[in-house]
Amino acid sequence: MDTSRTDATGAPGDPGRTAGPSPGLSPAGPRTNGPPVGTTQRRNAPPVEFPIEMKINITPAMNAALALYCRRRKFKPAVIARVALMEFLERYVPQYREE
């Protein structure tokens, strides 16, 4: 017996009955599961004091010494690198001035 969805009107519990879509629901379709990767931002994020990012390569010995210093001073490596760079620029670059 070939019945379409619109023709099926069997009694409730009838194995030959097919259910139609529920009224008021939007049809199922592809949807996103959140924003694309890499675009998440914190809401109400504070303004960034240092907007430029710099990455450096260091030796394993430098890394070990930096880790030891960070533990003693309770600073992040980026803070120590920033202070060292600021001191270097103040000493050797006359045009540099801290804003």
DSSP symbols for 30-42: ---SSSPTT----
Joined tokens for residue 5: 């969805």
DSSP structure class, residue 2: -
Mean pLDDT throughout 7-14? 58
Residue 8 pLDDT more than 60?
A: no
- The pLDDT value given to residue 84: 93
Residue 64: enclosing H or E segment and its boundaries? Answer: helix 60-73
- The pLDDT value given to residue 43: 74
Tens digit of each residue's pLDDT (9 = 90 or more) over 50-88: 888 888 999 999 999 999 999 998 999 999 999 999 999
